[in-house]
Structure 1
Amino acid sequence: MTVPIDEPDWSSKPAWKLPTWAEPIIVASILFTAMYMTRKRDYRIFDKSISRYYSYLDDPDSNRSSDELLAYNSNDEDEIEDYLTSKNPPKQRDCCGLRIQTPNSSRFKNNFHSRVLQRFPFLIEMFYWIINYAFYRMTSIASQRIFAKTGIWNVAQSHGIAVLETEQSSWISILFPISERSVQQWFMHGHQDALTVLNKAYALIHIPGTVGFICWYYYVAPSHHTFAIVRRTMTLTNFCAFMTFIFYPCMPPRLLPTEFGFLDTVRHDDAQSVWMSGKYVNTLAAMPSMHFGYAFCIGTTLMYHSGIFRRTLEKGESRKTVFWKVFYAVVGLGYPAFILTTIVATANHYYLDALIATLFVYMSYICNKVFLVFLPLEDLLLWTIRADKPVPTTGDRLRDRGGRI
């Protein structure tokens, strides 16, 4: 397990460093650009003569929003008549095997904040991802409290060593013929400039790249139903990872004792992202690798979007040209491969971290509808703040462009 090493001298200079304010501005710019690009074009916030916006997705067979996820069902004709004639009938939701009624906030559609949301429906996505990020920030505090007596650093170090032993000594060692240390040493001896680039890529691509993907796919997805599956899959992957971070803190290879042969290239290049530093950031969260988890989810989505492996297309979607099929397929395969190389070469993750992240993405895709149980809470929140849930614009731009984005 441990190896004697002579740490090679760095021949490359630390790469340029963005000011601490630059990354938040980049991410905010991506989000607000997406908010503007996905706005409802024919809807005006201060023009109440337009009572409601209808998009291409308002077809009776379309899954345009959570409001259509469940249909009203009753055998009582009088009850059906009352339901149909009611101006704002309660919503019918399934929750834990029960059908419940929740308040219908559509009566608040003319409130100012409702109209702002209708004009810029992407604000809903921004709100939920902010909550997601807040949960990640709390994982470090929760994990430290759980392992306060034993010492989280020692626990995380023992877990990191256990991961290495599992990769090298168990039956799954056949999956990892080249060790993480060998990959890093290849870059360290004669390819340090490339390693510097990978350090910066690790720091700067993860958050802006993932945010950019969410924004882009909201814009071009063939339907909100398809976009919601991807979003729920990524969100559930997040929460699976968060629980692992809390109960199985794992030290990344670069922080292990020097006798294990890994070098902390991130510290040399001062390559930590502003999103990955600070008081509430969990540096002992190597397992699983969310860098690779996001990359794998993005890659599979791009492969789906290319249409190469689909015989049937969604409503309004057209076959893409050969160029775009190849483009999406190459990026869909290349991006996860690049991120895998990055996380291993920089000694931020083990191979097993990427493997577990892949399994989490797969399980999250299978179970993504679990989040639908929170629809009643969403209804109650909207009722509490007196807001109507906006109709998403996902799919509108696709149809405007002939279904070929």
Structure 2
Amino acid sequence: MPDGSLNYTAPLPADEPQWNSKPAWKLPGWVEPIVVASILFVAMYMTRRRNFRILGKSTYQNGLLDSVDSTASSDSLLDYDSDGEGGYEDIFSTTKHVPKKRNCWGVIIPMPNTSRFKNNIHSRILQRFPFLIEMFYWIINYAFYRFTAIASQRLYAGTGIWNAAQDHGIAVLEAEEFGWLSFLFPIRELDVQRWFMNGHQDALTILNKAYALIHIPGTVGFICWYYYVAPSFKTFATARRTMTLTNFCAFMTFILYPCMPPRLLPHEYGFLDTVRHDDAQSVWMSGKYVNTLAAMPSMHFGYAFCIGLTLIYHSGIFRRTLEAGEAKKSTFWKIFYLGFGIAYPSFILTVIVATANHYFMDAMVATCFVFLSFACNKVFYVFIPLEDLLLYLIRAEKPVPTTGDRFHERGGRI
């Protein structure tokens, strides 16, 4: 072993399997960005506000948007105002553009009322295509992820981030093998990978591609789909905030606890980087600022678990009542959503372990982060005043979301 102080051992069998597959066909680098962009723009089109024109007089019937004398901000319809944070009194005020009253941790903060900018061209573009706001949120998320590699490297500049991440990765293996929670890990990651390498290499090739190609497009596709079908913006926003807070919990862990994935551990530990062997890397996971030492926790599994829980909720099987305006689902669709909600995170767990990109403990920590984030997702309300300031600076009004509108118009039968 590379470090005599570490007592974890993973002896290699005499008949160590060899990777015999030929590298899979590699997608051109431009394909993934085009796929993701296509998903986003299709969602933007599908969730557009009907009967609302960017130029000229709109026929959209909503006084909050088109009334000349309206003093209300369109975000008075958003879910956070139900907690008294948006100031419904603006709607009935006789004073034009009165300040919004934001409740931030019990402190009332007056913020600019951006409704005065509702007829600016970029405001009307947002009102026509409100999903653009969701796209902006996820660009911020991706930028923060890129930042973690820089921050972690600077934090561990003295001791060396590579050595620290390797020690942390080995410590995870030891904790799974000998720690007080070892009963939760009856199967070793090495055994899973070797099972696929011994007689199931075609399946492993599929998993390699799945690891590279499902994570970003799949998550983006889910956000787009759920914005379209969610029974209410409040329900959609809860899922989105949960995923976002899970992200930030993971980002802080990436910075403070860099962890080497199994595939990068010394050869003595027996893991093989099958994704790179298959030349199946994702274009999103390459480049100067990608954090390769961010195994703990697994956001592949964190996203998948959050998506799975949302699908199970959407099935309606474990709910006694439907939300207002939500159509009753047939037995087929209930079973479909339930089954997919269980199968998707289970498949992703298999993918991340078989390809030696994550430990089982990475998935367990991600699961804990999802539950914690769900319980604390409203912490993002603290950023509403900052959003008000940003909108004021760019002279834009936040759009009224169209979550579920088009879907419910079509009958909402799935």
| TM-score greater than 0.5 by the shorter chain | yes
Runs ≥4 in structure 1, deviation > 4 angstroms? 49-55, 65-69, 71-74, 80-83
C-alpha displacement of 1:68: 5.4
Partner of 1:384: 393
C-alpha displacement of 1:13: 1.4
CA distance in 1, matches of 2:319, 2:368: 23
Partner of 1:234: 243
Instruction: Verify the 8 A CA contact 1:14 1:270 in the aligned structure 2.
Output: yes
Residues 1:181 and 2:195 aligned together: no
Unaligned regions of 5+ residues in structure 1, if any? Answer: 75-79
Partner of 1:85: 94
C-alpha displacement of 1:65: 4.9
Residues 1:266 and 2:280 aligned together: no
Residues 1:256 and 2:256 aligned together: no
Pick from 326, 334, 337 the counterpart of residue 317 of structure 1.
326
Residues 1:194 and 2:177 aligned together: no
Partner of 1:327: 336
Partner of 2:12: 4
Of residues 109-118 and 43-52 in structure 1, the stretch that sits farther from structure 2 once superposed is 43-52
Judged with a 3 Å threshold, the aligned counterparts in structure 2 of structure 1 residues 54 and 244 are, in CA distance, closer, same or farther, namely farther
Partner of 2:132: 123
SS in 1 for 2:214: helix
CA distance in 1, matches of 2:86, 2:290: 45
Matches within 5 A, 1:98-137: 98-137=107-146
- Per-residue CA deviations over 1:117-170 (Å, capped at 9, x if unaligned) read 000000000011001100000100110011111111100000000000000001
C-alpha displacement of 1:237: 0.3
C-alpha displacement of 1:258: 1.2
Residues 1:396 and 2:405 aligned together: yes
Of residues 252-261 and 3-12 in structure 1, the stretch that sits farther from structure 2 once superposed is 3-12
CA distance in 1, matches of 2:296, 2:388: 35
Percent same amino acid among aligned pairs? 72
SS in 1 for 2:224: helix
C-alpha displacement of 1:252: 0.4
Instruction: Verify the 8 A CA contact 1:51 1:110 in the aligned structure 2.
Output: no
Partner of 1:77: none
CA distance in 2, matches of 1:390, 1:44: 14
Partner of 1:70: 84
Pick from 25, 35, 40 the counterpart of residue 31 of structure 1.
40
SS in 2 for 1:378: helix
CA distance in 2, matches of 1:206, 1:49: 39
C-alpha displacement of 1:259: 1.1
Residues 1:159 and 2:187 aligned together: no
Of residues 45-54 and 388-397 in structure 1, the stretch that sits farther from structure 2 once superposed is 45-54
Alignment-mate amino acid for residue 148 of structure 2: T
C-alpha displacement of 1:9: 2.5
Judged with a 3 Å threshold, the aligned counterparts in structure 2 of structure 1 residues 176 and 86 are, in CA distance, closer, same or farther, namely same
C-alpha displacement of 1:54: 6.8
SS in 2 for 1:85: coil
Instruction: Verify the 8 A CA contact 2:51 2:60 in the aligned structure 1.
Output: no
Alignment-mate amino acid for residue 109 of structure 2: I
Residues 1:225 and 2:234 aligned together: yes
Alignment-mate amino acid for residue 285 of structure 1: A
Judged with a 3 Å threshold, the aligned counterparts in structure 2 of structure 1 residues 54 and 320 are, in CA distance, closer, same or farther, namely farther
Instruction: Verify the 8 A CA contact 1:65 1:224 in the aligned structure 2.
Output: yes
Instruction: Verify the 8 A CA contact 1:90 1:103 in the aligned structure 2.
Output: yes
SS in 2 for 1:254: helix
Equivalent residues, number: 395
CA distance in 2, matches of 1:366, 1:333: 21
Partner of 1:205: 214
Instruction: Verify the 8 A CA contact 1:187 1:345 in the aligned structure 2.
Output: yes
Instruction: Verify the 8 A CA contact 1:71 1:92 in the aligned structure 2.
Output: yes
Partner of 1:144: 153
Instruction: Verify the 8 A CA contact 1:48 1:110 in the aligned structure 2.
Output: no
SS in 2 for 1:171: coil
CA distance in 1, matches of 2:352, 2:265: 15
CA distance in 2, matches of 1:73, 1:228: 19
SS in 2 for 1:93: strand
Partner of 1:373: 382
Instruction: Verify the 8 A CA contact 2:208 2:280 in the aligned structure 1.
Output: yes
RMSD: 2.1
Pick from 361, 368, 374 the counterpart of residue 359 of structure 1.
368
SS in 1 for 2:101: strand
C-alpha displacement of 1:326: 0.7
Of residues 111-120 and 39-48 in structure 1, the stretch that sits farther from structure 2 once superposed is 39-48
CA distance in 2, matches of 1:281, 1:53: 45
SS in 1 for 2:133: helix
C-alpha displacement of 1:81: 10
C-alpha displacement of 1:267: 1.7
Alignment-mate amino acid for residue 18 of structure 1: L
- Per-residue CA deviations over 1:10-39 (Å, capped at 9, x if unaligned) read 232111111011101110000011001100
CA distance in 1, matches of 2:404, 2:58: 25
Alignment-mate amino acid for residue 2 of structure 1: A
CA distance in 2, matches of 1:296, 1:279: 29
C-alpha displacement of 1:4: 2.8
CA distance in 2, matches of 1:336, 1:368: 21
C-alpha displacement of 1:299: 0.1
CA distance in 2, matches of 1:7, 1:98: 64
